[in-house]
Amino acid sequence: MKWLMFLVSFFLFCTEVYGVTTSAQSAILMDTDSQRILYAQNIHEVRSVASISKIMTAVLAVESGRLDDIVTVGEEIDKSYGSGIYIQKGEKISLRDLVYGLMLRSGNDASYAIAEYLGKDKFVDQMNEKAKEIGMIETTFHNPNGLDEEEGNYSSAYDMAILTSYAMSLPEYRTIVSTRTHQVKTNKNSYYWINKNKLLFQYEYTTGGKTGFTKKARRTLVSTASKNDLNLVAVTLNDGNDFLDHVSLLEYGFSTYQTVPVLKRGLLSIYDDLYYGHYFLSIKKSFSYPIMEGEELMIKFELSEEPKEGEVGLAKVYVDEKEVYREPVYAEKVITRVTNLLKWFHHGQ
């Protein structure tokens, strides 16, 4: 293999930098795009997480592709207690509106109706399967809502940040959790829901989140916010001062880090490349990364010394000598495109 190394240093100048502490037992601040951890406090401690579990229930509903289905509410809601949207048996309501009730009002009855419609007894298995699929290795779900009396749901601040990062990649999910109020009319009732996430009304950069509380878990909170191309998620577990702590965490992130475009999808131009002069080199994905002042960002291109078409190497990104990302590099022979062009021109004549 041939190594081509380019060093790029970024020196960011911040007008004000915030220190940050929280009242939480566990807390994390993460960039949702790169999943870089910007603040960590007991992030792998596993504990009851209460209603922020409903983020996974919402994800499965959104990914089902059935949000416009009409659900007839059945006896499954008889086991619901605590927070609810107070739907009734026999009520006809769209799956989409059930998800709004789930996320805006933390409706336990909505969670049971969603689980019954999409998976019946297998829904919790689907939750755990999805958790493993997206890299949540510290999480066990026992129900679709987080109620502790039914064994409860256990996770870590880190896993809940991973889940939320994934959820925020889904456009339908982002729309729902960023909604402040929502009106619904069914065959039995009319509803007007106000989102319980106070940050949507109090912190201008908020894009979503989910509240939670049980006597065992205490207050749990997930929030997301975006500013200047930096997309963040904050998670706190057992935090009696959670809304203020989230503002502090998010302000710390926005004041300390800046998203830097590192790799751009498309053709590459690599200086002093002696091996691939007759090839187009390209990458298929763009990549950006949050950097703080004084950090050194380096890109290494590792290419095969034997030119060929297809995947020929890697673009590796390092921050302070630690690898944070890698992306395949592809090669296509220039002569192929010229030949095809000549064939097309000849055929056209």
Which of these is catalytic: 48, 106, 223, 288?
106
Q: Which of 253, 255, 262 is nearest to 296 (CA)?
A: 262
Query: Which one of 26, 34, 53, 54 is the catalytic residue?
Result: 54
Identify the CA nearest to 221 among candidates 204, 240, 203.
Answer: 240
**Is pLDDT at 8 greater than 80 in this prediction?**
no
DSSP state of 144: S
How confident is the model at residue 109, as a pLDDT?
Answer: 98
Give 181's contacts (C-beta < 8 A, 6+ positions apart).
104, 192, 193, 194, 195
Report the percent of the chain where pLDDT is more than 70: 89
Inter-residue contact 249 to 20 (CB < 8 Å): yes
pLDDT tens, residue by residue, 241-273: 999 999 999 999 999 999 999 999 999 877 666
Which residues, including other chains, have CB under 8 Å from residue 121's CB and lie 6 or more apart?
Answer: none
The pLDDT tens digits for 324-347 are: 999 999 999 875 554 555 555 555
Nearest CA to 99 out of 184, 163, 166, 164 is that of 184
Q: Which CATH class is domain 26-240?
A: alpha beta
Band of residue 151 on the pLDDT scale cut at 50, 70, 90:
confident
Of 51, 53, 83, 248, the catalytic one is: 51
Whether the pLDDT of residue 15 is over 50: the answer is no
Q: Let me know if 106 is a catalytic residue.
A: yes
The 10s digit of each residue's pLDDT in 69-90 is 999 999 999 999 999 999 999 9
Contact assessment for residue 291 and residue 319, using Cβ atoms and an 8 Å cutoff:
yes
Cβ 116 vs Cβ 143: under 8 Å: no
- Predicted confidence at residue 250, as pLDDT, reads 98
Better-predicted residue by pLDDT, 11 or 314: 314
Instruction: Please state the domain extents for the chain.
Output: 2-12+260-348, 26-240
What digits encode the pLDDT tens for the residues 220-233?
A: 999 999 999 999 99
